[in-house]
Amino acid sequence: MKVGVVGAGLVGATAAYALTLRGSCSELVLTDLDEARARAEAQDIAHASPVSHGTRVRSGPLEDLRGSGVVIVAAGANQKPGESRLDLLQKNAAIFRDLIPRVAAAAPDAALLIATNPVDLLTDLSVTLAPDHAVIGSGTVLDSARFRHLIAAHAGVDATHVHGYVLGEHGDSEVIAWSTATVAGLPVADFMDARDLPWTPDIRAQIERDTREAAAQIIGGKRATYYGIGAALARITERILGDRRAVLTVSAPTPAFGVSLSVPRILGRAGVLGTVLPGLTPDEQDALHRSAEVLLQARRTIQD
């Protein structure tokens, strides 16, 4: 099982490191415009291989992606403090118009897993640039993990036993879908009540803020985010390679909204096998439509 990573910067290299530590694939190829960076990252990550799962890690040109089951695309500009993800659209769309057809030609059998921001609109664009490939955006898998982590901290339980989805744009308009959130199978408020834990509108509002603003907070402190997304990309990749039928909030074209955004999807070797829209409250439904409208409006700026 071979995986390619295009863009061996902070996100691409961290995803490759996570894949190596988890033993998600047998072969990993890193490629970047900056060949020296890709070579150095591959060399460094390869040194983790003998003490983890023996993954063969190397760098190479795009042509070396042939045979990959998944290619992660993390090439392009990241946000500077104060910038939004949508501020990256023009620059990264220009990179993708040149890059994605070449990646698709080099890796004809791969599912393309897009991480570059703004991830929903670059997923949308990649679908048109690589029409014969399964194309999936990492979407709000990371935001849903942030949401679950924050609830778990209040609930005092292992975050893997907290469920809950962030939907819509991976960006400022994302929808924190409280109606989908459960701990030990109970709605969050009921769990807190059963455990005699505080649960106030202020705590809830703080969790929403910390979920939505997590990227800005981290970028303010250390200029980039990469550990959370690296692990999320490794998990999505494994679920595709292993045809695991996992349910994850990845981004993909969504006819009901006219644009790529995140809702729960069943993932397998062929990419998105199905979409399941949870029963949202009327407020959440309105927020999801507003989030789609934000994306549709931004998309017009890169259409002729």
Task: Provide the CA 154 distance to its chain's centre, in angstroms.
Answer: 25
Q: Compute φ and ψ for 183, nearest 5 degrees.
A: -125, 125
Task: For ligand PYR, give the closer residue by CB, 123 or 225.
Answer: 225
11 is in an annotated binding site: yes
**Per rule CB under 6 A, is residue 92 in the interface with ligand PYR?**
no
34 is in an annotated binding site: no
Using the Cα atoms of residue 85, residue 87, residue 89 and residue 92 in order, give the sign of their dihedral.
negative
Q: Residue 219 CB, nearest distance to ligand PYR (Å)?
A: 7
- Cα 253 to Cα 57: distance, rounded to the nearest angstrom: 32
- Cα 251 to Cα 248: distance, rounded to the nearest angstrom: 9
12 is in an annotated binding site: yes
- Name the nearest CA neighbour of 60 among 16, 109, 122: 16
**Per rule CB under 6 A, is residue 33 in the interface with ligand NAI?**
yes
How do beta strands 111-114 and 135-137 pair? parallel
Determine contact, residues 122/154, Cβ cutoff 8 Å: no
From the list 133, 154, 163, 170, the catalytic residue is: 170
Count the residues of the shown chain that bind ligand PYR, applying the rule CB under 6 A: 7
92 is in an annotated binding site: yes
Task: For ligand PYR, give the closer residue by CB, 25 or 95.
Answer: 95
80 DSSP assignment: P
Q: Pick one of 117, 237, 254, 262: the residue that binds ligand NAI (CB under 6 A).
A: 117
156 is in an annotated binding site: no
- Name the nearest CA neighbour of 12 among 76, 56, 63: 76
Determine contact, residues 149/142, Cβ cutoff 8 Å: no
Q: Pick one of 95, 135, 248, 259: the residue that binds ligand NAI (CB under 6 A).
A: 95
Q: Compute φ and ψ for 4, nearest 5 degrees.
A: -110, 150
Helix (H, G, I), strand (E, B) or coil at 291: helix
32 is in an annotated binding site: yes
| Run of H or E including 166 | strand 162-167
170 counts as catalytic:
yes
Only segment of 114-122, 199-207, 255-263, 269-277 that touches ligand NAI (CB under 6 A): 114-122
Binding mask 197-236 for ligand PYR (x = CB under 6 A): ------------------x---------x---x-------
**Per rule CB under 6 A, is residue 142 in the interface with ligand PYR?**
yes
Task: For ligand PYR, give the closer residue by CB, 79 or 249.
Answer: 79
Task: Provide the CA 15 distance to its chain's centre, in angstroms.
Answer: 11
Task: For ligand PYR, give the closer residue by CB, 107 or 119.
Answer: 119
Question: Which residues in the 141-170 window bind ligand NAI by CB under 6 A?
Answer: 142, 170
CA dihedral 119, 18, 36, 69 (to 10 degrees): -70
Question: Which residues in the 223-242 window bind ligand NAI by CB under 6 A?
Answer: 224-226, 229
Q: Residue 187 CB, nearest distance to ligand PYR (Å)?
A: 26
Burial class (CB in 10 A: 0-12, 13-18, 19+), 236: buried
- Cα 301 to Cα 67: distance, rounded to the nearest angstrom: 35
Write out the residues near ligand PYR by the rule CB under 6 A. 79, 85, 117, 142, 215, 225, 229
Give me the active site residues, please: 170
Numbered residues of the known binding site for NAD(+): 7-12, 32, 92
Write out the residues near ligand NAI by the rule CB under 6 A. 6-12, 32-34, 37, 74-79, 88, 92, 95, 99, 115-117, 119, 138, 142, 170, 224-226, 229
Numbered residues of the known binding site: 7-12, 32, 92
